[in-house]
Amino acid sequence: MVKMAVKLMRAVQYDSYGGGAAGLKHVEVPVPTPDKDEVLLKLEATSLNPLDLRFQNGVNRPFVTRKFPVIPGTDVAGEVVEVGSSVVTFKAGDKVVAILNLLIGGGLAEYAVAKESLTVPRPENVSAAEGACLPIAALTAHKALVDIAGIKLDGSGPRMNILVTAASGGVGHYAVQLAKLGNTHVTGTCGARNIEFVKSLGADEVLDYKTPEGATLKSPSGQKYDAVVHCSKDIPWSRFEPNLSDSGKVIDLTPGPSAICTYVFQKLTFSKKQLLPFILIPKGDKELNLLVRLVKEGKFKTVVDSKHPLSKAQDAWAKIIDGHATGKIIVEQ
């Protein structure tokens, strides 16, 4: 029998829950084959998210099992090298940005397969790193501000006061910029070293979360927030509540058990002020296309905290664990 040669690629994977950066192993595995509705990408850049770490720590375990080994990473940019039989939008040679299946991943590798429906073209003036940073972080900021808070990115909506917590992080730095495209007054929270950075993104006011005044979340100019994009953790409802407008909403990106209880209680009591637990479910390419276009037009930018080669993916992972990124963390293939 003649054996076909299998093309191998470099990848980084873990084979059990937990283990942190040391749990990542460098391996050689077969290049994946695209299904009929998928494209095979030669990856140029992958951005990491705290979600990648939460998956390694087993956040999915109560709901779904994952097959090990796992190649983590979902937010990628690269070049199409092969297309499935039903793919119509892309051809080999196209530069793209894509979000990979959240439960399967595949981004810390030289090649990955992506659904055509979650892949968008990347214009020449948007770098691979800029593109790869967008999917989870910028889609989350967009969904929270546009779909839930109701701001209009063309500035046509009613004036709104927005608070972004952890405004210096991956989601937060996008949320400040997107909010400022609308008709808004934006307050951001961050550490002292990032105050000028968050102002440079367009925030009207900045609170240092490590000071007693900053910790109250009170706007220095007395604004009451119509919406909060809550990207940090462990702030009780009682601290948000006095700072909200009559029907102010807190969109909580990392809701714990007490946030869920608050949400249920507010539903039962028809509260106008609301805490809304949030989970991103990427559905189609429309919003990702819009975000890439905003970068292309210079209306919206990605700030990169640090870039790491695939051979040093553990360093990037350690930075995600550290939780002190300013902007996004990138692995380059």
Ligand X SMILES: NC(=O)c1ccc[n+]([C@@H]2O[C@H](COP(=O)([O-])OP(=O)(O)OC[C@H]3O[C@@H](n4cnc5c(N)ncnc54)[C@H](OP(=O)(O)O)[C@@H]3O)[C@@H](O)[C@H]2O)c1
Give the interface with ligand X as residue ranges (CB under 6 A): 49-51, 136-137, 140, 165-166, 168-172, 189-191, 194, 209, 231-232, 253-254, 278-280, 323-326
Please name which of 131, 120, 118, 76 lies closest in space to residue 94, comparing C-alpha atoms. Answer: 120
Minimum distance, C-beta of residue 326 to ligand X, in the bound complex (Å):
5
Nearer to ligand X, 51 or 77 (CB): 51
Which residue number, 9 or 288, has a Cβ lying nearer to ligand X? 288
Residue 143 CA from chain centroid, whole number: 11
Closest CB 40 distance from ligand X, rounded Å: 27
Question: Which of residues 106 and 170 has its CB atom nearest to ligand X in the complex?
Answer: 170
Find the shortest distance in angstroms from Cβ 102 to ligand X: 9
Close Cβ partners of 5 (under 8 Å, ≥ 6 residues apart): none
Quote the least distance from Cβ 316 to ligand X, whole Å.
12
At closest approach, how far in Å is the CB of 324 from ligand X? 3
Instruction: Identify which of 137, 134, 194, 130 has the alpha carbon closest to the alpha carbon of residue 171.
Output: 137
E strand intervals along the chain: 8-13, 25-30, 38-48, 75-83, 95-99, 111-115, 119-121, 160-165, 184-190, 205-208, 225-230, 244-252, 274-277, 304-309, 328-332
Q: Is 144 helix (H, G, I), strand (E, B) or coil?
A: helix
Asked whether the beta carbons of 173 and 201 are under 8 A apart, the reply is: yes
Check: CB of residue 104 under 8 Å from CB of residue 295: no
Spatial CA neighbour of 144 closest among 272, 29, 231, 82: 231
As measured in angstroms, the least distance from the Cβ of 303 to ligand X is 10
Which residue, 83 or 149, has its beta carbon nearer to ligand X? 149
Nearer to ligand X, 229 or 292 (CB): 229
Evaluate whether 314 touches 14 at the Cβ level (below 8 Å): no
Please identify, using beta-carbon distances, which residue of 27 and 53 lies nearer to ligand X: 53
69 upstream amide cis, omega within 30 of 0: yes
Report, in Å, the least distance between residue 261 CB and ligand X: 18
